[in-house]
Amino acid sequence: MATMTYRQALRDTLRDEMLRDENVFVMGEEIGVFEGSYKITEGLLKEFGPKRVRDTPIAEEGFVGAAIGAAMLGLRPVVEIMTINFSLLALDQIVNHAAKIYGMFGGQCSVPMVIRTPGGGGQQLGATHSQNVELFYSFIPGLKVLAPSTPAEASSMLRAAIRDDDPVLFLENLALYNTRGEVPDDLEPAEIGRAAVTRSGTDVTIVAYSRMAHVAAEAAEKLATEGINAEIVDLRSLRPLDRETVVESVRRTGCAVVAEDDWLTYGIGAEIAATIQEGAFDWLDAPVRRVAMAEVPLPYSKPLELAALPSAESLVTAVRDTVRATGR
C-alpha cells in the first residue's frame, strides 16, 4: 500500500499498462518532450520512445480520428486531450465514429481507445476552459464515461478503461490532481459501471461524483455534528450508470440530495433524480434535491468563480432542508 497523489496514480498506471501490453501507446499535445501540461506522462517518452509516446499537432479532430483508426486496427491508444473543453473540437470523431463503429459494422470491429481529459472550475481559467461537459458524452450510447474521485479509483478505473474493448472517456477534475490517498500495490482493474457507497448512513443519501464526492464527504462530516447521518454514493461511472446502488441507498435512507459540478438544467443530477423517482418513490419522505453550479459562464474573478461553484456549505444547507422536510 502506497500513499500518492491522483496525478502519480495515473502516471504509474499508464506506465504499468504500457509495460504489460505493447499495443498500448499514448498520444496528445505536448505529452512527450514537455511531459504533459499536468505531468501525467512524465518520463514516458524517455522510457518508451517516440513510437509509443507521440506528440501531436494542435488538432484534436485529427489526432482523435487517428487514434480511432489505430484502435480499429488492433492498437490501444490512450489519448490525452489537454482539457475537456478542447474535446469539443473532436466531437464528430468521438460521437459519430468512436461511439458508432462497433454497432454500425455489426460488431466486426471494436474501438478500444481511452480519451483522458481534465475539466472543472476553481482554477481561474475562464469560462471556456473551466467546463464540465461530461453530460454531452454520457448521453451517447457506445461510449463509456468514467469519473474517478480518488487516487485508488483513478488507478483501478484507468486500468479497466485501457483493457476495455469499447471507447472510454476518462474524466479527471483539475482540482483532484494533487489530492492524496492510499493505492494498494496489487490493485485490480475496477468493474466499469459500478458505483461505491463510500460512507454509510441512515438519514439521507448524497449522490455525487468526481470532485463533488470530496465535497460530499466534507459536508457529511459537518452534518454529523448536527446529528444528521449521511450516506454517500460515489457514482464513479456516468455511462453505464449504476442505478441499482443509488436506488438501494435511497430506499434505506428515505431521502436524497444529488450534487454535481455542472449546471443544474438537463444535468447528470436530473438523470439521478429521475432514477430515484422511478425506483424509490414509495420510500421517499421528501422531494429529491439537487445542488449544482450557478447557470452562468464561469467567471474569471476568483470570488465570483467560487460563488458560482457548488460548495460544502451549499450542500449542507440542501441536506439540512431535505431532512427537515421529512418531519423526522
pLDDT at 11 over 90: yes
pLDDT at 15 over 80: yes
Cα separation, 137 vs 284, in Å, equals: 30
Provide the pLDDT for residue 1.
86
Provide the pLDDT for residue 274.
97
List, for residues 43-80, the tens digit of each pLDDT value: 999 999 999 999 999 999 999 999 999 999 999 999 99
Contact yes or no for 233/304 (Cβ under 8 A): no
Provide the pLDDT for residue 186.
87
**Residue position matching grid coordinates 499508464:** 14
For the full predicted model, state whether its pTM sits above 0.85: yes
Is 97 considered catalytic here? no
pLDDT at 328 over 80: no
Quick one: 205 exposed, middle or buried, by C-beta within 10 A (0-12, 13-18, 19+)?
buried
3-state secondary structure of 20: helix
- Determine if the peptide bond prior to 240 is cis (ω within 30°): yes
Q: Which one of the listed residues 60, 172, 231, 260 is annotated catalytic?
A: 60
pLDDT at 191 over 80: yes
List, for residues 28-41, the tens digit of each pLDDT value: 999 999 999 999 99
- Least Cα distance to 238 among 93, 164, 132, 98 occurs for 132
List, for residues 126-184, the tens digit of each pLDDT value: 999 999 999 999 999 999 999 999 999 999 999 999 999 999 999 999 999 999 999 99
The letter for the amino acid at 199 is R
List, for residues 284-320, the tens digit of each pLDDT value: 999 999 999 999 999 999 999 999 999 999 999 999 9
Taking all residues of the chain, what is their mean pLDDT, rounded to a whole number?
96
Q: At what angle do helices 151-163 and 6-20 cross, to 10 degrees?
A: 30
Q: Which one of the listed residues 17, 80, 129, 305 is annotated catalytic?
A: 129
**DSSP class of residue 236?**
-
Provide the pLDDT for residue 293.
95
Is 214 considered catalytic here? no
3-state secondary structure of 264: coil
